[in-house]
Amino acid sequence: MPAFLSPSDALSESKRLIAALERRRDDLPFVEDMLAIHHPTHCELENSRQRSEQAVEAWRDALARRWDCEIAGRRLYKHIFRQFVEHYGSATVPEVQMLSRGEAEADSTPSELLRDLRRLQAALTASAMPFANDRQPEIDQVCGLLTVAIADADDCEAQRRIAVLDRRMAQEAYRRARATTRRRLAEHYGEQIISDFAELFD
């Protein structure tokens, strides 16, 4: 068995192994012991796969929401920045230069974008720009939404990582149970394991 089967492969193999053990209830003196290990292990494989799938879906949804907020934030940033440039008549005056990171803004991370927006937000609050009253509610809203979206995406990413680890732990528990079962079967039948189990232990 590879180090980690895919969740569906591990579940399928576990199901077949349980079924093979069930068919040998009358032949194997230790079958109940093995089933007592494999049933909860199989259940945890199912649960961990479900948790992993749900975590990945939540993470993707959170990334999509964050992306929407980033797009809105970048558009608003460019719009307000242009208004500052138009007001001062140049992008090279100190009052405008302090609001920009130059070309780095094009590849900014969500957190960097939020900091850029916060700088504009502070500049609007401190200024008497003719457009400040119109732009302030917009930038307040965008900053608030982006803050929440970043936190949600980070939390979902952490939950996804935990779910992946849980899935691997469930697969490792199954791998150990499978190895124990193979050893017990080999002790009982010899290395020439009967046909019920042969394909499971190639």
Q: Please give the pLDDT value at position 1.
A: 40
Q: In this structure, are residues 173 and 44 in contact, taking their beta carbons and an 8 Å threshold? A: yes
Q: Please give the pLDDT value at position 158.
A: 98
Q: Please give the pLDDT value at position 8.
A: 62
Both tokens of residue 86?
């138009």
pTM of the prediction?
A: 0.80
Of 154, 163, 73, 160, nearest to 119 by C-alpha is 73
From its phi and psi, is residue 193 left (phi > 0), alpha (psi between -120 and 50) or beta?
A: beta
Q: What is the DSSP letter of 106?
A: G
| C-alpha separations of 91 from 94, 95, 102 in Å | 8, 9, 10
Domain ranges for the chain: 7-74+128-201
CA distance 179 to 125: 67
- Kindly give the confidence (pLDDT) of every residue in the chain, 202 residues in length, as a single tens digit, with 9 standing for 90 and above: 444 455 568 899 999 999 999 998 888 889 999 999 999 999 999 999 999 999 999 999 999 999 999 999 999 999 998 888 888 887 777 777 777 776 666 678 999 999 999 998 988 888 778 888 889 999 999 999 999 999 999 999 999 999 999 999 999 999 999 999 999 988 888 877 777 777 777 6
Q: Please give the pLDDT value at position 6.
A: 57
For 165, phi then psi, to 5°, come to -65, -45
